[in-house]
Amino acid sequence: PVKKLKIVVTRKLPTPVELRMMELFDTRLNHDDHAFTHEELVEAVQTADVLVPTVTDRIDSKVLARAGEQLRLIAQFGAGVDNIDVQSAVQRGITVTNTPGVLTDDTADFAMALILAVPRRLHEGSRVMDQGLFDGWTPTWMMGRRLAGKRLGIIGMGRIGQAVARRAKAFGLQIHYHNRKPVSPRTEELLDATYWDSLDQMLARMDIVSINCPHTPATFHLMNARRIDLMKPESYIINTARGEVIDEAALARALKSGKIAGAGLDVFEREPAVNAELIGLPNVLLLPHMGSATIEGRTEMGEKVIINIKTFADGHRPPDRVIPAIL
């Protein structure tokens, strides 16, 4: 009976994942890998038993209002589910799942790469070489900032935040964090991490701030102009989570005027659009949402999607069910 389950996958996924899906379910793939339009999403929710969307699909209440009775599961390929109106889906009796865990290390590596790269100006050095402008070493050229002994403030101490903390600790950074609530005393001790109930107070004292929280109504523009202003002029901001957590226009202004020293951004408020003011700034390293882009990670994300669908189809609770109340 599972073979009869109609699955619509909105983006091209790693080939082994697609092959397995075809084997197990009645699967419709997106061969040319275009981003689904609103109309295509509506068509998909009217025909599919299971929709497999990604971060690029906006499954809002308008799309969900058009869903047919047959749609039972939205099995997101991705950890973040801010593209889905989960509340609306659940109210309609549609289960939502995601793929946490398997992209933790890759995303944390990426955040750490940015933490290492931005203060040491790797992007600036690389541009010099690409443009053939290296005309000799001098003792005072391309001086960056040392990491060891500095304070890293992590916003969002979930799986990825903790994985960033473990890496950063090995580089001699002091770990601070802000979260809705403190992590367990054991985790805090292992990470040597200091909890800040007040984000404002933490921000004023950090050398690097890393965003690792999901985008929810509560975290939208958490880093607004006022909060960015609290940061030290010699501090850096790193975002591998969601662009919406930072007011991008306010950040661009702060970076241009030297209110903060630099930024490493892998995510943007209106992807794929990037605030034009951010482009070309020497103190900014921009990347096109690559945090979880490893062959292993993307394959395991696909495997998780399959497990969620299979478990659901077998009449059990899928392992990665998203519960709206905890968002």
Q: Which of 5, 45, 55, 168 contacts ligand 8YV by CB under 6 A?
A: 55
Span near ligand 8YV by CB under 6 A; candidates 42-50, 71-79, 196-204, 252-260: 71-79
Site for ligand 8YV (CB under 6 A): how many residues?
A: 9
Footprint on residues 187-246 left by ligand 8YV (CB under 6 A): none
At closest approach, how far in Å is the CB of 317 from ligand 8YV?
21
Closest of 327, 301, 326, 306 to residue 318, by C-alpha = 306
294 vs 129: CA distance, rounded Å = 26
Is 34 part of the annotated catalytic residue set? no
Q: Which of 159, 166, 289, 321 is catalytic?
A: 289
Residue 144 or 324 with smaller CB distance to ligand 8YV = 324
Task: Work out whether strand 151-155 and strand 262-265 pair parallel, antiparallel, or are unpaired.
Answer: unpaired
Q: Which of 121, 123, 178, 242 is catalytic?
A: 242
Is residue 156 involved in binding ligand 8YV (CB under 6 A)? no
Span near ligand 8YV by CB under 6 A; candidates 42-50, 72-80, 129-137, 200-208: 72-80
Q: Which of 74, 78, 84, 109 contacts ligand 8YV by CB under 6 A?
A: 78
6 vs 86: CA distance, rounded Å = 21
At closest approach, how far in Å is the CB of 309 from ligand 8YV?
16
* Angle CA 73–76–80, to nearest 5: 135
Binding pattern to ligand 8YV, positions 101-120, x when CB under 6 A?
A: --x-----------------
Is residue 262 involved in binding ligand 8YV (CB under 6 A)? no
156 vs 173: CA distance, rounded Å = 17
Is residue 292 involved in binding ligand 8YV (CB under 6 A)? yes
Closest of 6, 77, 84 to residue 46, by C-alpha = 6
Is 189 part of the annotated catalytic residue set? no
Is 296 part of the annotated catalytic residue set? no
The tokens of 67 are what? 């869903």
Alpha carbon distances (Å) from 106 to 132, 157, 168, 180, 198 = 32, 16, 14, 24, 29
133 vs 147: CA distance, rounded Å = 27
**Is residue 272 reached through a cis peptide bond, with omega within 30 degrees of 0 on the bond before it?**
yes
What are the residue numbers of the active site? 242, 271, 289
Binding footprint of ligand 8YV on the chain (CB under 6 A)? 54-55, 77-80, 103, 289, 292
